[in-house]
Amino acid sequence: MSHKRIPKRKAAMAAGGAVALGAAAILLPNANASQDGAPDDAAAAPKTLRAGDASDLASQLAGLLGDAFAGSYYDGENKQLVVNVVPGDDNNVIVQAKKAGAAVREVDNSMTELEAGARTLKSEATIPGTSWAVDPRTNKILVTADSTVTGDKWDRLESTVRSLGSGMATVKKSAGTFKTFVSGGDAIFSGGARCSLGFNVTAGDGSPAFLTAGHCAVAADQWSDAQGGQPIATVDQAVFPGAGDFALVTYDDPATQAPSEVNLGDQTLAISRAAEATVGQEVFRMGSTTGLADGQVLGLNATVNYPEGTVTGLIQTNVCAEPGDSGGSMFTRDGLAVGLTSGGSGDCASGGETFFQPVTTALEAVGATLGAEGAGDAGAGGEEAGAGDQPGAGAGDAADQGVEDDSGPAGTH
């Protein structure tokens, strides 16, 4: 597989290392899979849905069902949205959810109770090396403790979980250590640090930019596409720790072409828009260290207590990642941008937990747009940045190759 490098004034930075063709092949053949519609005479039966459509339906039902709504998840095997409902005197909520096409499950814990439990954990057990997120598949709070949580810290965590009452939470031990995935190496660089570019976007003022992890951006203001190279992008906004782990970095050259794509090595996947994650959803991650990896969403609105501080509002997954993958893109096989790699435990040999910043909340916070929403706002000379229609040139791992190729714009993350 060839490595290409594009002149910096026209190249959009890429954040992926080389990926085996076989790994990319599991993603691309079904990138445009269509929804299977249910027959008209089965309106009350659960609909067959793509994960992205299930996420939209879940958002609608959350508002429709009100206090009866207790979370939802995507059943990938049956391609259905499962909605948890707390039964009450009015069975109409169940009828409404079924008519909307969801599979309905009655559960004990309401979302209000689960969110109250999470607030108790925050006030009583904010311990470095811990995390928690609501798991709608078990209708409980999933609490995870890494290998540093021992002795008095472990006793405090267990005691807090017990105080929530029976059936409210479970505790899982992780063999690894929670950390952000930043390292020295290749991809996007600043000093001795290496991270991965997430998604190209159009900033609020129309300039080309990209999203990456906030913990990368708070460590350094300027970033290059080559180790020791001249900076080509500058941090505009960054959040970490706190209410997220994301940053907006603007390209220094306003003529930079920044297509809305994920580079899979020798192929690119067009990104059409940002989407909310759904528990149970299949997702893919691209990063500069480990390339392409896949897995499932395990929890939403996760709180993670990193050594640097607490971060809230993250997506919990079982997708592996390693140092240098920070900021990299998480997306679906049909081209929806879902997350930015934050941190976690383990590696791609032993597995572990990995947490992601939701792209939707990052875009809203920094005032940027992605995909077709940003088309035509950022490029120069008639080129459209963020339009998702620029051909990729396989430049995802070009930064350390030094091979010049003027054949076209780079495929990017």
| Alpha-carbon distance values, 30 to 269, 333, 337, 351 (Å) | 11, 7, 16, 26
2: how many CB neighbours lie within 10 A of its CB?
11
Mark whether 90 is an active-site residue: no
Known catalytic membership, residue 413: no
Buried b (16+ CB within 10 A) or exposed e, 106-120: ebebbbebbeebbeb
CA angle 29, 55, 201 (to 5 degrees): 70
**Which of the following is catalytic: 110, 326, 329, 342?**
326
Asked if residues 136 and 69 have their Cβ atoms less than 8 Å apart, the reply is no
Residue 406 appears among annotated catalytic residues? no
Catalytic residue among 236, 245, 377, 405: 245
Which long-range CB contacts under 8 A does 230-238 form with residues at least 24 apart? 230/8, 231/190, 232/8, 232/13, 232/256, 233/13, 233/188, 233/209, 236/203, 236/209, 236/366, 237/365, 237/366, 238/214
Sign of CA dihedral 6, 1, 292, 35: positive
Alpha carbon 354 to chain centroid, angstroms: 10
**Annotated catalytic residue, options 190, 215, 325, 342:** 215
- Measured CA to CA in angstroms, residue 375 lies from 200, 246, 382, 387, 413 at distances of 11, 22, 11, 4, 16
Active-site amino acid positions:
215, 245, 326
